[in-house]
Amino acid sequence: MSAPLTGGVDGETVRDIAARVERFVRGVVAPYERDPRRDHHDCPTDALVAELRGLARDAGVVSPHILPDGRHLSQRQTALVLRMTGLSPLGPLACNTAAPDEGNMYLLGKVGSAQIKDRFLKPLVAGEARSAFFMTEPAEDGGAGSDPSMMQTTCRPDGNHWVIDGRKAFITGAQGAQVGIVMAKADEGACMFLVDLPDPAIRVVHVPNTLDSSMPGGHAVVDIRNLRVPADQMLGQAGEGFQYAQVRLAPARLSHCMRWLGACIRANEIATDYANRRHGFGKVLIDHEGVGFLLADNLIDLKQAELMIDWCADVLDTGAPGGAESSMAKVAVSEALMRVADRCVQVMGGSGLTSDSIVEQVFREIRAFRIYDGPTEVHKWSLAKKIKRDWKAAQA
């Protein structure tokens, strides 16, 4: 640990939760990595997830970052627990800490009405339902991507309902989800709605094959036509959608870092084991500087990623929005983990290119991670704008 665990739950309890999760993911989940139950996009099927979720329930590690009394661990504490779930690409699915569910649970826990929490949040926390977050839109429509202000999906009031029309793209887990959070724009501004899925007004048009394959349902293109949503299923008031998106954004962005750090720790363990067993040119590979130095660099990047996550988590735990800090963490961690994953493949040579271990998948997943939740370049651009604003303010 880089610093003491702080928050509403004592550190010993958090370490015990993390240890139980680690034992479960390493001992129970990891053997399922070769399970053939995958869809045609190579994503885990809902049947596989349900079986793993049942095992996690038996082990008492479903939603381990949320205590039975409803309290959420602090972000620093969550970082330790989610890192352990990430030790296998299947771990977050088994333990119910995967995206987008983890971020959606956090959002609803923070701003959902009592009715919304009872109807939509409870089954998510219990691991009985999957969810999807409908924000990104097709580029060919000129819709919202990294710039949410470009949103084309509309909503309009109609009696005690709102009617939503538009198209969404790269909607993770839309296929097979039971809970949806849909963003649309009204005259007042952006709005956010909770919807039951499936709904005939929300049609999955296409699920493209993507580089990553860890998330059930893939990343769908969705057509929304004449979707009627009761007014009491809006989060807050009309025009407050972007405000609520910000509540979700920084913690969810950091959660990705937590989980993928765990995956890269495991990939590095596999590469290290390989380098200490494989011989070449008269000695074990680890004794060749060209290999040993790659693994040494991995240790440095993994520790820097851990410290960056903990720093940002501490900022969020003060109650600060953490927008700039989470941008810095997302860039630093995703780029560091990409280097780690790439070195693991390199150390293992041809073996690192096969699906015989998770190293190849982790490489693919981390490459995708550099894009979702904001590409590196968008975060740097946002930070540059802040630098300019801060400079101007200092001149006044």
Last residue of a domain, one of 238, 268, 302: 238
Last residue of a domain, one of 98, 116, 142: 98
User: Quick one: pLDDT at residue 210?
Assistant: 95
- Are 168 and 40 contained in the same domain? no
- Are 258 and 323 contained in the same domain? yes
The CATH number linked to 157 is 2.40.110.10
Lowest-pLDDT range of 82-91, 147-156, 260-269: 147-156
Percentage of the chain modeled with pLDDT above 70: 98
> For residue 364, is it within any domain?
yes
> For residue 121, is it within any domain?
no
> For residue 64, is it within any domain?
yes
Lowest-pLDDT range of 2-11, 62-71, 289-298: 2-11
Helix or strand or coil: residue 211?
coil
- Are 285 and 220 contained in the same domain? no
**Mean pLDDT calculated for residue range 159-175:** 97
User: Quick one: pLDDT at residue 6?
Assistant: 53
Q: Which residues contact 53 (CB under 8 A, 6 or more apart)?
A: 62, 93, 94, 96, 127
Segment 17-73, tens digit of pLDDT: 999 999 999 999 999 999 999 998 899 999 999 999 999 999 999 999 999 888 899
> For residue 233, is it within any domain?
yes
- Are 211 and 250 contained in the same domain? no
User: Quick one: pLDDT at residue 1?
Assistant: 36
> For residue 160, is it within any domain?
yes
Segment 229-263, tens digit of pLDDT: 999 999 999 999 999 998 998 999 999 999 999 99
- Are 351 and 262 contained in the same domain? yes
Q: How far apart are CA 374 and CA 307, in angstroms?
A: 21
pLDDT over 90 at 388, yes or no: yes
User: Quick one: pLDDT at residue 146?
Assistant: 85
- Are 313 and 389 contained in the same domain? yes
- Are 255 and 386 contained in the same domain? yes
> For residue 107, is it within any domain?
no
User: Quick one: pLDDT at residue 70?
Assistant: 85
- Are 69 and 211 contained in the same domain? no
Distance of CA 350 to the CA centre of its chain: 29
Residue 162, strand partner residues: 157, 229
User: Quick one: pLDDT at residue 121?
Assistant: 96
pLDDT over 70 at 8, yes or no: no
How confident is residue 317, by pLDDT bands cut at 50, 70 and 90?
Answer: very high
> For residue 3, is it within any domain?
no
User: Quick one: pLDDT at residue 108?
Assistant: 95
**Mean pLDDT calculated for residue range 285-289:** 96
Nearest to 43 by CA among 361, 363, 354, 390: 361
What's the pTM? 0.95
Segment 321-374, tens digit of pLDDT: 999 999 999 999 999 999 999 999 999 999 999 999 999 999 999 999 999 999
> For residue 117, is it within any domain?
no
> DSSP state, 16?
H
Percentage of the chain modeled with pLDDT above 90: 91
Count of the separate structural domains present in the chain: 3
Domain span at residue 44 reads 11-98
The CATH number linked to 278 is 1.20.140.10
**Mean pLDDT calculated for residue range 201-208:** 96
- Are 215 and 310 contained in the same domain? no
- Are 248 and 356 contained in the same domain? yes
User: Quick one: pLDDT at residue 2?
Assistant: 42
Last residue of a domain, one of 98, 117, 143: 98
- Are 232 and 136 contained in the same domain? yes
- Are 146 and 71 contained in the same domain? no
